[in-house]
Amino acid sequence: MQITSLQNPHIKNCVRLHTRRERDRQRKMLIEGYRAILRALQNGYPIDALYYCPALFFGDNEVALLALVAEAGVPLFAVGEGPFRKMTARPRPDGMLAIGPQRCRPLRDYSPGQAEFLLVAEAIEKPANLGSMIRAADGAGIDALIVCAPRTDVFHPDVVRASVGTFFTLPLLAAEPKETVQWCKAHGIVTVAATPQAETLYTDVDLRGPVAIVVGNEQVGLSDTWLARADRHVKLPMFGQIDSLNVAVAAALLLYEVVRQREGQTARVRVGALIAD
């Protein structure tokens, strides 16, 4: 049967999950769109329920994905176009929306490898920036993302949307800055802090060993903890009037410098399908 009433409990619950307070209370998140749901399924991320509206499908891929989701034992609910548009926060929904649990592990429970490659994001405020960093991190093949002192909701739908589903492809870890610094030092991981005040260019630092790239808040940069205790400080060359780049752009450049330096040594090559924007 198709859900057609705006008063249906499923519709009401999805609408409530648009707020951070309700997401945190339920420890749930919204997973919107074909690509995000596909990535979650491919990477074994649990899905509690999936809602779909065939009238809003962009093509034929959605039908195949529904079959995979059903095969995984996920409950499916058909929804009328009106109620579905109420459920989604996207201006152009593609007719697929899922609910899943919030998953974020404490840093202390994570065991790094010999050539660990990490991104540390401190006090990021904008969900789209965090999502874009996750996308770049996945592309660069990092091992995990450490979220320090977040100012945005890590499970905001805009984080998942901007990540183009890569939110589900890498471990998400949580820790305070001091804990992260101590943990990296204890495991022999060099911390490289990005700051416009640094004297060293990011291309002049050896990034081939275990490394954590550290980027900070969009407005004020990194905290005093990182500025005082990071092993290396680096900057990007700036030739115009502005002294810094968007934090997601800066993170991408730094991550791919690690890839460039490691190429042929410890870099991992992954082959997959290209999904265009």
pLDDT one-digit tens code per residue, 1-45: 799 999 999 999 999 999 999 999 999 999 999 999 999 999 999
User: pLDDT confidence of 269, banded at 50, 70, 90?
Assistant: very low
Where residue 268 falls among pLDDT bands split at 50, 70, 90?
Answer: very low
CATH no., domain 105-262: 3.40.1280.10
How does the average pLDDT of the chain come out, rounded? 93
Percent of all residues in the chain with a pLDDT value above 90, rounded to a whole number = 89
Which DSSP string corresponds to 64-98? Answer: HHHHHHHHTT--EEEE-HHHHHHH---SS--SEEE
Instruction: Quote the pLDDT of residue 265.
Output: 59
Nearest partner of 191 among 267, 266, 122, 264, judged by Cα: 122
Overall pTM surpassing 0.85 (yes/no)? yes
Tell me which architecture the domain covering 2-101 has in CATH. Answer: 2-Layer Sandwich (3.30)
**pLDDT (tens digit per residue) in 237-267:** 999 988 888 999 999 999 999 999 998 554 3
Among the listed residues 172, 170, 251, 184, the one whose alpha carbon sits nearest the alpha carbon of residue 218: 251
Q: Return the pLDDT at 89.
A: 80
The pLDDT assigned to 161 comes to 94
Domain spans of the chain, in order of start: 2-101, 105-262
Over residues 137-153, the pLDDT tens digits come to: 999 999 999 999 989 99
